[in-house]
Structure 1
Amino acid sequence: MNDIIDSHRAELEPLGPDAAPLLDEAKDFLTGGKRFRALFAVHGYRAVRPLDIAGPVTAEFGAVLDAACALELFHAAALIHDDVIDRSDTRRGRPAVHKRFAGLHGEHGHRGAPEHFGISSAILLGDLLQSWSDELMNRACDAAAEPAFARAARAHFNRMRSEVAVGQYLDVLEEQRSSFAEHAEQLDRSTRVLVYKSAKYSVEAPLLIGGALAGASTEQEAALAGFGLPVGVAFQLRDDLLGVFGDEELTGKPSGDDLVEGKRTVLVTLAREALPVTQRRIFDDLLGTDLDAEQVYMLQRTIRDSGAEQQVEQMITRNIDRAHRALSDLDGAAAERLSALAGRAASRDA
């Protein structure tokens, strides 16, 4: 990934030293992370076509790596924009990009509003990473073994980007609604956001892109999708639990951050349904406000006591079991690799 950033940096050198903070932040932001999307893309390819990842980087392997890196660049852009939308202060234990640039504004004594400069810079960095992501995906498709493979991979990539953008809008819309819907409708809305904002693009789309570059058959694509969607759902359900109960030292986000942001997740929806009317009213009044530590703890305890946390854990287990059953049409070694990766994605603590 650093080679990609360095290559773009060399191309942009004529813009002068003033561009350095933006390019430095691109490199810093892309350092670390779990690379789940890249891993699922590579394993999606390997599920269809054997690939020696221990040997030299062949043209075939290079194409897969380009697609994997394209997904990580897209993911980084989505996180940067998501932090702006959610007005998050931190990401991975460091200032969110818009906060970092607001700080640079103050350090240099620039005129105007630091917050506006920070948000503008973060939006532009996200746009830049999306552009680089698209370039890499084009390069991966150009190196595909067959034009049909490239067309299929590009179609999955394009659909993923559209679904994430609309899913993000649905998430924003939910937070702005004046009240919760009836339980069944609210659960449907929360699940739709979960699927399209995160689940599909975190696992299913990377698997399908990797599989398409390898020339996946209709049956193989169905198996990858049948595995990928429930793993993606489990992945996001775990993320929702971490957003409420996660250890700040591990997640890099304040404990209970989703409660402060007012996220109407499946976890929150299930908790509300189990509460008596008066307690539910108090819960609703506090959700999405500037909570202090005591109020965060109170809401966390309320969710735990409601049984919603355990319900979500059971949903994670059911989705992983469903994913394992979908692997019957894939090679045994490939199925084993994917099963192990699914377990990691669903049981992580950060």
Structure 2
Amino acid sequence: MPNDILTPVIPRQSVHEDGLVPAVEGTLADFLASQIAQLDAVDPALGGFARTTRDLVLRQGKRLRPTFAYWGWRGFAGPREPVGPILPAIAALEMMHAFALVHDDVMDASATRRGAPTAHRLLAAQHIADGRRGDPERFGDAAAILVGDLCLVWADQLLAHATLPTSTLFAARARYDRMRAEAVAGQYLDMLGEHQPEAWTVDRALLVARNKTASYTVQRPLQFGLALAGTDSAVEDAYDRYGTAIGEAFQLCDDLLGVYGDPAVTGKPAGDDLRTGKPTALLMLARQLATPAQLAELTLDPAGVVNPADGSSPLRIAQVISDTGAPDRIRGLIRQRVDEGVAALSDAPLHDDARAALVDLAVTATHRAA
């Protein structure tokens, strides 16, 4: 058995201009293969657990966080700097994202993610298939929490594999730690909102968006990438303003997709936010704009779920929200924030290719079908 299961050796991936996502996924796959081999040597059950975790991490995704980190790095480092040394660091953000998704799905009791069973559902099914004792749902939830924990540990290990000066890694780690703390804070507020909807407002929903989504999707990954390249106060300020605006717009787009998205494309059932009564900016704005009759249909039951007296389905509630004009207002907020984000980059001392890429990302990340 290996003496140390914490220090895998991973091959270096090559990166071409259009090959960032494959390089990130290759870095993840190589790292995970070494971890699986080492846990297999401890106990075959641990190897199986690690394989399940690997499969969840490598499920098809947008890889937005490593992408924003890469362009945050390249905006200051420039196109001539080799990307290989920073690949483990930016890939670590995807591992952290997996941690957040797995825990989020347990808290929301979500059945699917990216068109496949969520971690807790998958692990509960394994429990049944293996004929184990006890409640499979309880086992699935507990095991999924451990999957998320393992992803967070692995993210730390992967970050340590970046071949950069110690001072650079410390600077990047400070952004990384802040990002993790903000993601946890935002998740707590998101959960609190479901249980205290009467205290929620549009402004508070946007506060959740800034902490839960904007911070760890756009703002901090950009600043993390910059820290991997060096430091520049003007660039950091531009990334802060761009990241906050585009991150909020990303979450507002998610709010719309949660109600009106095509499940075949989003990989999640439509109307989940309505079923749980999640106080999104969309729902809060709809309640603010609603007529008395519309507001009656959008009233929350004691459990915090949108549950009108006539038993209307989420489809009916989605129509009521649309009739209030809230979706159009949300689309207007998205456009406004995209404009603000793009404007923040206009005078920043960035390399032109990175500026162009970030402008493109501002649009594609906030005008999407999934």
- TM more than 0.5: yes
How far, CA to CA, are the matches of 1:126 and 1:77 in structure 2? 4
Task: Output aligned runs, 1:196-215, within 5 Å.
Answer: 196-215=211-230
Task: Output aligned runs, 1:107-146, within 5 Å.
Answer: 107-140=129-162, 143-145=163-165
The 10-residue stretch of structure 1 (264-273 or 19-28) with the greater mean CA deviation from structure 2: 19-28
Superposed displacement of residue 206, structure 1: 0.7
Unaligned runs of 5+ in 2: 1-27
Which residue identity is paired with 2:230?
G
SS in 2 for 1:288: coil
Partner of 2:209: 194
Change (3 A) 1:241 1:232: same
Q: 2:342 aligns with which of 320, 324, 345?
A: 324
Which residue identity is paired with 1:18?
A
Q: 1:29 aligns with which of 56, 59, 74?
A: 56
Partner of 2:44: 17
Partner of 2:22: none
How far, CA to CA, are the matches of 1:156 and 1:209 in structure 2? 5
> Contact 2:259/2:274 (CA < 8 Å) preserved in 1?
yes
> Contact 2:215/2:243 (CA < 8 Å) preserved in 1?
yes
How far, CA to CA, are the matches of 1:278 and 1:317 in structure 2? 30
Partner of 1:56: none
SS in 2 for 1:284: coil
1:73 matches 2:95: yes
> Contact 2:277/2:300 (CA < 8 Å) preserved in 1?
no
TM-score normalised by the chain length of structure 2? 0.87
1:313 matches 2:331: yes
How far, CA to CA, are the matches of 1:265 and 1:187 in structure 2? 8
> Contact 1:153/1:213 (CA < 8 Å) preserved in 2?
yes
Partner of 1:171: 190
1:275 matches 2:290: yes
> Contact 1:48/1:211 (CA < 8 Å) preserved in 2?
yes
Superposed displacement of residue 20, structure 1: 3.3
Superposed displacement of residue 285, structure 1: 3.0
How far, CA to CA, are the matches of 1:129 and 1:301 in structure 2? 39
Aligned length: 337
Q: Percent identity?
A: 40
Partner of 1:151: 170
The 10-residue stretch of structure 1 (336-345 or 44-53) with the greater mean CA deviation from structure 2: 44-53
How far, CA to CA, are the matches of 2:359 and 2:167 in structure 1? 28
Q: 1:100 aligns with which of 105, 113, 122?
A: 122
How far, CA to CA, are the matches of 1:159 and 1:223 in structure 2? 18
SS in 2 for 1:12: helix
Partner of 2:365: 345
Q: 2:354 aligns with which of 313, 334, 340?
A: 334
Change (3 A) 1:325 1:290: same
How far, CA to CA, are the matches of 2:222 and 2:87 in structure 1? 13
TM-score normalised by the chain length of structure 1? 0.92
Superposed displacement of residue 263, structure 1: 1.0
SS in 1 for 2:365: helix
> Contact 1:51/1:61 (CA < 8 Å) preserved in 2?
no
**C-alpha RMSD over aligned residues:** 1.9
Partner of 2:16: none
Which residue identity is paired with 1:47?
G
Q: Deviations over 1:93-134 (max 9, x none)?
A: 111110111111111111111011000110000000100001
Over 6 Å off, 4+ runs: 290-293
Q: 1:42 aligns with which of 60, 63, 70?
A: 70
How far, CA to CA, are the matches of 1:37 and 1:74 in structure 2? 10
Q: Which structure is higher in helix share?
A: 1
Superposed displacement of residue 324, structure 1: 0.8
Partner of 2:180: 161
Q: Deviations over 1:182-240 (max 9, x none)?
A: xxx61221111111011111001111011111002111111111211111111111111
Which residue identity is paired with 1:170?
L
Partner of 1:57: none
> Contact 1:41/1:208 (CA < 8 Å) preserved in 2?
yes
Superposed displacement of residue 276, structure 1: 2.4
Partner of 1:301: 319
How far, CA to CA, are the matches of 2:129 and 2:209 in structure 1? 39
Partner of 2:305: 288
Superposed displacement of residue 45, structure 1: 0.5
> Contact 2:286/2:324 (CA < 8 Å) preserved in 1?
yes
> Contact 2:299/2:306 (CA < 8 Å) preserved in 1?
no
Q: 1:6 aligns with which of 33, 57, 65?
A: 33
1:248 matches 2:267: no
> Contact 1:234/1:320 (CA < 8 Å) preserved in 2?
yes
How far, CA to CA, are the matches of 1:149 and 1:16 in structure 2? 37
> Contact 1:90/1:252 (CA < 8 Å) preserved in 2?
yes
Partner of 1:226: 241
Which residue identity is paired with 1:46?
R
SS in 1 for 2:204: helix
Superposed displacement of residue 333, structure 1: 2.1
> Contact 1:36/1:202 (CA < 8 Å) preserved in 2?
yes
Q: Deviations over 1:122-151 (max 9, x none)?
A: 0000000100001112232xx224x44322
> Contact 1:43/1:207 (CA < 8 Å) preserved in 2?
yes
